[in-house]
Amino acid sequence: MFLALRELRHSRLRYLLIAAIITLIAWLVFLLSGLANGLSTDNGAALIHMKADHLVFQSNVKLYLHRSILPMSDVQAVKQVPGVSATAPLGHLTVTVQRGTSSTQIDSTMLAIDPASFIAPKIIGGQALDPSGGNGVVIDDTFKRHGVKLGDELLVTPAGQRLHVIGFTTGQTYNHLPVIFTNIPLWQSIKFAAPGSAGGVTDPISAVAARMNNGSASLVEQQVPGVDVATRNVALQSLPGYSEENGTITMMLVFLFVIAAFVLAVFFYVITLQKSSQFGVLKALGASTRFLVLDLIGQVMILTIVGVVVGAILTFAVSTIIPADLPFALSYRLIVTYGIVLLLVGFAGTLISLRRIARIDPLVAIGRVD
């Protein structure tokens, strides 16, 4: 490290440019990871935060909540299966609402629940849903951006149903839309207002949220007719666009890591070629190949660490000015993980240079000096 530090100090501009490139790559990686995390959270936060480990859907609907219709009796039928500890009804509907007399329309997802069940959301303002019914609703706090506050009325268009805002929750979005939590009867009166829209199902719901052992899923499918059971994570992956969004950004990140490896490999290989004579002199004076290899690795690690740290700082700085409606969520775990990956990529990029150092012949290298 002695020679590495002296060389970094002597050739400031050269290594500053390399550190700047590493910083830009790290910055882009962290920004993309924040965007990926924000998109996935915004798409399925209601499922991510739901205190259920399995969901029971109507069979043959590809685990799509908006297609599934089950009878309320399935809630009790699932609960009677061995290994199932708790069940709760769940309803889904995509709606457009207006605040009072305002003409502004807000697209949202309506989730119907039993207010006394384990999947009821945490209240951060106002009060929880009334188990006795009524038109009171609990909404995600992103509605506040549209000027919605406690006590306001939301008009469901075009159904004309009026919803009374009695509470706020947070971190509850589904399909990139803020969630409105209602009781089951209110949701049924909106979704199945047209005669026959429930397809003959009595007291319909969309799905059953459950807590059960993993081995009980197959028992539920065997004992309750016409259902498919999925873990919460599988249901999350089945959300329309969820896997595609994450897959696209993951592919971008993979290419960034490959590009970073090539950039570092090229830079340090060129530098190694330029310093062949110096390496030859050092070998002639008794420096071992191991000493020179560790010196180069030390340079790469210092530059990569500096680039990763500065990139992380820039990312956190940018996150403070990103608009609130942009799905962006930083995760310290991802920052650390991708930082370590970049360090490994930096090391991998020096392997070709290390091989070059090992093959340098002191006599040949010194002979090239005029």
Cα–Cα dist 337/159, whole Å: 48
Region at 311 (left for phi over 0; alpha for psi -120 to 50; beta for the rest): alpha
Give the model confidence (pLDDT) of 12-28 as tens digits.
787 788 889 889 989 99
Give pLDDT, residue 10: 67
How many of the other CB atoms lie within 10 Å of CB of 71? 16
Q: What is the mean pLDDT of residues 198-202?
A: 85
**pTM for the complete prediction?**
0.81
**Average pLDDT of span 94-118:** 90
Q: Which pLDDT score, from 0 to 100, does residue 370 have? A: 46
* Contacts for 297 with CB less than 8 Å, ≥ 6 apart: 347, 350, 354
Q: Which amino acid is at 358?
A: A
pLDDT in tens, 273-299: 777 777 777 767 677 777 777 877 888
What does the pLDDT look like over 225-279, one tens digit per residue?
999 999 999 999 888 888 888 888 888 888 888 888 888 788 877 877 777 777 7
Cα–Cα distance measured from residue 69 to residue 208, given in angstroms and rounded to the nearest whole number: 10
**Can you tell me whether residue 237 is helix, strand or coil?**
helix
Please choose, from the candidates 309, 292, 311, 296, the residue with its C-alpha nearest in 3D space to the C-alpha of residue 264: 296
Is residue 152 scored above 60 in pLDDT? Answer: yes
Cα–Cα distance between 184 and 182 in angstroms, integer? 7
Percent of the chain with pLDDT strictly greater than 90? 47
Measured CA to CA in angstroms, residue 39 lies from 176, 241, 248, 330 at distances of 8, 10, 11, 11
CA 14 to chain centre: 37
SS3 of residue 106 by DSSP: strand
Sign of CA dihedral 304, 308, 314, 315: positive
Q: Quickly list H helices, the chain.
A: 2-10, 12-48, 73-79, 184-191, 216-223, 232-237, 242-274, 276-284, 289-319, 332-348, 351-358, 362-367
Domain boundary assignment for the chain? 2-43+242-367, 60-225
326-338 per-position pLDDT tens digit:
888 888 888 899 8
Average pLDDT, the chain: 86
The two three-digit tokens of residue 77, written as one number: 């039928």
The candidate with the shortest Cα–Cα distance to 308, out of 327, 334, 279, 277, is: 334
Residue at 44: amino acid letter:
G
